[in-house]
Amino acid sequence: MAKAQNKTVENNDSVADFLKTVKDENKRKDCLAIVDLLSKHTKMKAKMWGTAIVGFGSYHYKYESGREGDAPLVAFSPRASSITIYLSDIKEELIKKLGSHKLSGGCLHIKKLEDIDIVVLLKLIDNSMKYTKTKYPG
């Protein structure tokens, strides 16, 4: 029996074209700013993953169950109610300093960039990338 393929895979769709579809002008501007910020900070190019996730870099994971695949090292998505930033190993001491946000699992939800401390966000991203690279080396 063939293994199920991941639906969210890196592709060559245009990040700029995707972000043009964000209806809320302020959210669209924040997303463009996040692309610029993360491109400069991570020194990685923004790529589309699936139809709605903007990712930077990638890593290969393999679970004990045998399921494996690739995922973005850092990613975000403009969702209906917030901008969702996907992180791993979120440090409580940093999250307390971030500003207005919500957490659910490995997802950080923000309404707008001006509500948070960008320096703290970048520390959270650095921590997440370090954790992921350590957990899934190679």
Determine the pLDDT at residue 4: 60
Whole-prediction pTM: 0.93
Tell me, what's the pLDDT at 3?
57
Q: Show the 3-state SS of 95-128.
A: HHHHECCEEECCEEEECCHHHECHHHHHHHHHHH
C-alpha dist (Å) from residue 132 to 17, 68, 89, 114? 29, 14, 8, 27
> How do residues 33-76 score in pLDDT, each as one tens digit?
999 999 999 999 999 999 999 999 999 998 888 889 999 999 99
